[in-house]
Amino acid sequence: MAWGKPPPQPAAAVVPSMSLSDLLSDEWVLQWVGGLFVLQFGWMALLYVVPSPMSSDVGMAAHQLTAAVPFAYAAYHGTRLWYFDEQHAALGADARGRLYAASEDAFSLARFMFGMQVFDLLVTLIVPSLRKAEHLVHHGMTLLTALCGLSGPFLMYQAAFFFGFVEVSSLPLVFVDLFRQFPRLHEGSPAGHSVNETVRVAFALSFLLIRCVLWPLAVLQLLRDLYAVWAAGELEGQLQMATFCVTCSVLTFLQLYWGGKIVRALLKMLAGDSSGREKEA
């Protein structure tokens, strides 16, 4: 390196635009879809063979145990990119960068999320106890958001947050759902009761902070960026950006809807009322 000259800057990431057919044949996507189904069926087989409190609904139990893996993956990599990666942070220097800058790590995370949502959507359709309208809408909207993002690619900066960091709140939800669906896991056991109460509080606080406070703020920043780029006459991917506005609106409504239910459940728990927990979502 010549004296007095700044070090060369790393080359800008170059990632391809991917269509639906590209994604359905993408090795990374298929590895996640296939791997998650292997885990799903493996847990189902084990729960069929080994009697346990979860044997009454092996499909639902297997899904929750399987989902812990992609939740942990997304939470780790999303948090790393969003808070600790300087190169990723540099993408957010201006509105255009936040909308259009490429990132190989975020591109990989978005493809992972597409595969995860394919798995989740199919399992939600198959398992009766998971087949709720709001869950189908959530998976469908997230899948569409990932597809639009990868078609540019667009919004790779925000992918670290929406496809990664927000899943921090999903990790305690795995145990909340298992304890709610299978109360025998904690009933009659002081240790089980303590774990149940702890994960419920951890989920409630993390969901409210991440999905009901930070999420709307991130969406607001996205809308401001879209307006700034549009006002400057530099808007690209009009169809995808319009789709983002729709999917973000629906998903934000769902976060706030679930957040309201969580607040009510949290207030009941603080009042010592444990009735109706099996109906909480």
Under a CB-based contact definition with an 8 Å cutoff, are residues 75 and 164 in contact?
yes
Give the count of beta carbons closer than 10 Å to the beta carbon of residue 181.
17
Q: What is the DSSP string of 152-205?
A: TT--HHHHHHHTTGGGGGHHHHHHHHHHHH-GGGTTT-HHHHHHHHHHHHHHHH
Using 50, 70 and 90 to split pLDDT, how confident is the model at 271?
confident
Tens digits of residue pLDDT in 200-236: 999 999 999 999 999 999 999 999 999 999 999 999 9
The mean pLDDT value of the chain amounts to 92
pLDDT at position 280 is: 58
Under a CB-based contact definition with an 8 Å cutoff, are residues 108 and 88 in contact?
no
- Among 3-17, 110-124, 133-147, the range scoring the smallest mean pLDDT is 3-17
Coil, strand or helix at 237: coil
Go through the chain and tell me how many residues it has.
281
Using 50, 70 and 90 to split pLDDT, how confident is the model at 272?
confident
Distance CA 16, CA 23 (A): 11
pLDDT at position 231 is: 97
Angle at CA of residue 179, ends 62 and 74, nearest 5°: 55
pTM of the model: 0.91
Tens digits of residue pLDDT in 75-84: 999 999 999 9
Distance CA 227, CA 104 (A): 26
Structure token pair of residue 278: 């099996």
Contact partners, residue 236, CB within 8 Å, separation at least 6: 100, 152
Mean of the pLDDT values across residues 178-198?
Answer: 92
- DSSP element (H, E) containing 263: helix 238-270
What are the residue ranges spanned by the domains of the chain?
A: 20-271
